[in-house]
Amino acid sequence: MQNVSDVAKQWIRDKGGELLSQDELQKRLVAIDQQAEQKSAEDYLALKRKVYERDSLWPSGKKTTFTFERWLPERQPNKTAATEIKAQTQNLFKRLRREAFNVFLNGSAGVGKTAMTLAIVDAFEKYTNKTTMFVSAVALREAVMFDFSDLQAKAKLKRVEKSMLEVDVLVIDDFGSEVGMAGSVRQATERLQQFYMRVADARYEVDENDKRTKCTIITSNNTRSELSTMYNDKLISRLVTKKPANILLFVGLEDVRE
Ligand SMILES: Nc1ncnc2c1ncn2[C@@H]1O[C@H](COP(=O)(O)OP(=O)(O)OP(=O)(O)O)[C@@H](O)[C@H]1O
Ligand SMILES: [Mg+2]
């Protein structure tokens, strides 16, 4: 007389099914679990990236992109300098994949600072699972100084702030050009200073091994010491690196804007 298990096995064989040992069954369950975990990690990353894309503030209101491949040294009269800055930026990106630190791109107008920054952002999105966010300092100033009776604008700014605190890689583009003249000095308003201070403080966090976890990339036409006259020292110290290896100086390059 056949027992139930034998009948079941025969039935599975008749249907062309596969009989799995306990071991094999266990392995397959583990594999299914791993696939599900990977899929949910990918979905979570895609969702986070959507949020940071929504909260990014672009100079023209529209997202722009750039890649290392699109950087053409021949656009510059000094082709060697243009080739060199690309190599420096790519090396910096390699280091940024391993550790988080602040980056400062400094140089005059139209030399390609924003383009290079967007190339770093593009590389992070393509080759890593880090999240990125782009904030135009001028657009941010407008949002921060906006009339606060507008509840929708207020809610939007709250979301932008939260994202700026949390994102792995934050770009603050054209830092310093948002600061207007107050009498004879160029100094940021108290409200703007406080906003940036909350961001800078949160982004300076370290993990249990004392390693920074977040990277902030600043582009500016102003030097670090010029920025120090517009914002308080505590802020500049947290936001704008003074370490030469983490600074990209766009020297010997010209304005290529058409
Ligand atoms: N080497 C290059 N190859 C191709 N395009 C370039 C190059 N350098 C700059 N560009 C393009 O020229 C324009 C000006 O560059 P970008 O906006 O990056 O300058 P910037 O240094 O950020 O200027 P600003 O200080 O005014 O913000 C952009 O459209 C950019 O894509
Ligand atoms: Mg720029």
Ligand 1 pocket: which of 60, 67, 113, 256 to mutate (most atoms <8 Å of CB)?
256
Mean pLDDT of the residues in the chain: 93
Distance CA 7, CA 20 (A): 15
Largest CA distance in the chain: 103
CA of 123 to the centre of ligand 2 (A): 18
Distance CA 9, CA 7 (A): 5
Judged by its nearest atom, the ligand closest to the C-alpha of residue 107 is 1
CA of 80 to the centre of ligand 2 (A): 21
pLDDT at 199 over 90: yes
Q: What would the mean pLDDT of 236-245 be, rounded to a whole number? A: 96
pLDDT at 183 over 70: no
Homologous superfamily assigned to 56-249: P-loop containing nucleotide triphosphate hydrolases (3.40.50.300)
Query: What is the tens place of the pLDDT at every residue in 201-221?
Result: 999 999 999 999 999 999 999
CA of 94 to the centre of ligand 2 (A): 22
DSSP-assigned letters across all residues of 30-59: HHHHHHHHHHHHHHHHHHHHHHHHHH-B-T
Cβ-contact 220, 175 below 8 angstroms: yes
Q: In the β-sheet with 169-173, what is the strand arrangement from edge to edge? A: 132-136, 169-173, 215-220, 103-106, 247-249
